[in-house]
Structure 1
Amino acid sequence: MTRALNKLSAQGVKSLEAGKHSDGGGLWIFKNDGGGGKWVLRVHVHGRRREMGLGAYPRVSLREARMEAEKWRRVSQQGKDPIKQRQAAQRDAERNMHLLSDIAHDAFESRKAELKGDGKAGRWFSPLELHILPKLGKLPVSEIDQRDIRDTLAPIWHDKAETARKAMNRLGICIKHAAALGLDVDIQATEKAKALLGKQRHKAVHVPALNWRDVPAFYQSMNEGTVTELALRLLIVTAVRSAPLRFLHLDQIEGDVWTIPAEAMKGRKDATSDFRVPLSSEALAVIEQAKPFARDGFLFAGVRRGVISDATMSKYMDRRDMAERPHGFRSSFRDWVAEATNTPRDVAETCLGHVSGGAVELAYRRTDYLEQRRALMEWWARCLTLQDIAAVAMFGASK
């Protein structure tokens, strides 16, 4: 039986003339005039002959061709089509060879519509790009396990806890995306990695904020009328975030209302909802003072191009030896509302652009409390400028 199967020899194959030559057991070599050829296995499955290519000669040797032939003969003896079985195996291999970097970009593309500004700022993708892809990006996603993830994030797990948390979260989304594509991945890999890494020691550090009682003195000390001072004054008097303020365009203002586009609002659940900011008389006065510096419609233009940078106002406070940050004035405002007024929580949170409540509650609550906020922001402005006796007493400025 062995001789019947192995009719050819390695040396003999080399000297074969062009044509078809049998090695037995359905294994053939089709030689061509140049000395090369291809291996073919002929088998019968369900009464039908099938011809299966096993590779080119001499790249595939006689010995290798016999091993492949034996493997696929066993498949055909089980009543399975070896060609279809091999195709299925190839599809599985190709499906599971997707690299993490490819999956990450595909996951990002599919989520752009959910992200502010279609994710152009790069905040969603940057944790992956900086901390995951340099080490794991070239690995097939099906091969990534909890040990790989642990080793990748261990250096920053405690020292840069929030960054590591975001990177882990994004990676988990990528793995779930791969699973949705039909890839064979461990969907629990990130949770297992967290167990290996342990609880994070890092404690959240709040943005330093000026006590609300000290804000009026600081506000009034900014009297040089520079672009930076005017931007800080408007930031304080409106309690908005720095990004929409820096990109404030004059056509966003109509009367005493500034409408911030939805895509510029951080954390808004309804991406189609713009945010209206009531402008107090003091805010309108600051805007008028800033208009001569406007360029291309932007109220707070940069020195050479674009708008002022995110660090401009922070550096101003550094120069004044202040540890507090511009974003902290939102906390100052919120503390003032809580301690010095009886404003309903929903109104106070809306002033800050926060969205609170469940999906059902939000579906029924359509108001943005514009009139209530207008009165509150006017009161805040009068306190900042100490325009009435009550404000003077409240802030201890009677000295």
Structure 2
Amino acid sequence: MKLTVKGVERALKKPGRYRDGRGLLLQVNSPTNASWVYRYERGGRERWLGLGPLSLLSLAEARDKAHEARKLLFNGIDPMEHRKAEKAARAAEPSAKLSFEEAARQYFDQHQQKWRNPKHRAQFLSTLEQYAFPVMGRVAVSQVDTPRLIAVLEQRHANYPDQRLWDAIPETANRLRGRIEQVLDWATVRGHRKGDNPARWKGHLDNVLPARGSIRKVKHHPALAYAQIPDFMAELRGREGIAARALEFLILTAARTGAVIGARRDEVDFDQKIWIVPPDRAETKISGDQPRRVPLSDRAMEILKELPIEDDNPFLFIGGKAGSGLSNMAMAELLKDMVWPSTTPDRIATVHGFRSTFKDWVSETTNYPNHVSEAALWHIVADKVEAAYRRGDLFNKRRRLMADWARYCSAPPVASAKVLPMRAAR
């Protein structure tokens, strides 16, 4: 006899199994513990398939589930094995919640011991933080595809705004590609994504990007004439925003874009007025890959002390997104908007060009030796013999040099110093 709704209620008073027919039973263990099961035979063996608790499944719903199990048997499918296969398939589905940045940091945490060199270990995340995370850090790792990967490699470089990353810094860009490839391979093995790796080179990206050996060397960066620095800096100080303060700080320290936008608060000794740049952001091999000590002028310190601070954001120059640093194009875009001519015909000044401006000022207006200004620019000493004898970082001399440079940058502006060529390119 089939069960009824009232029959189910009566069954709860006494433990046991109550048949509804065609394999469907109600298993009662206590008045508050009862569930539906489906009994069937497969390959000469009796099997029991749990359908769900009575508290969640009514009699009608239990009958529907038993009917679905019968349909599977009719088609030659074991209902219990079918359930196991579905569960395994769900477990293998990529996680849409894990972002690319989260995947990269998990990969790094699990593999960082394989990099014996601290510089190489730090470089793995720093390149991703500078170039990949701003473009696709929040994208689900399962959704990272070829167009997104190409968007990372073809973004404009801050120091070379007219060139894509792959052409401007090919070696770094290829290492970036390789690191993304490692993260995506890890995510695939971990079950967070499926399919081919969009960061693979051979037979894929080599069809759309030139080989590194065929890329022409980057030309010199258009630079502002040092005579125009007081006027330019006066205009820059009048600009509001993080990008303006970052650019002013970059000029005062003669630093590179990557070092500035990646600068963190814990790298600054506010008492000693020193900024300590890790080797991976110094972008050159000096003193055995040791951190670079950068002396900070009074104006540079003022800038840092006035910067806004965001909770859980380690960067000095915070970006538009929570927890992020300034984008690598922010200063370049600001400079394009200011439209100051360079010493290169028909070209406006570039961010990286200010290092040349600083060098020209030192060479033509001061008595500082060449090796002091080269040290301030973090350049490698070309002469190996000279390098062997000069092992210090000339810190005290560089502090005096940068203080003089800061005073020159703060000199009163000269009227009508900004003269634009008629064909100056924006």
Which structure's CA Rg is the greater one?
1
Say which structure is richer in helix.
1
**TM-score for both structures, normalised by structure 2:** 0.47
**TM-score for both structures, normalised by structure 1:** 0.50
| Higher relative contact order (Cα pairs below 8 Å, separated by 6+ residues) | 2
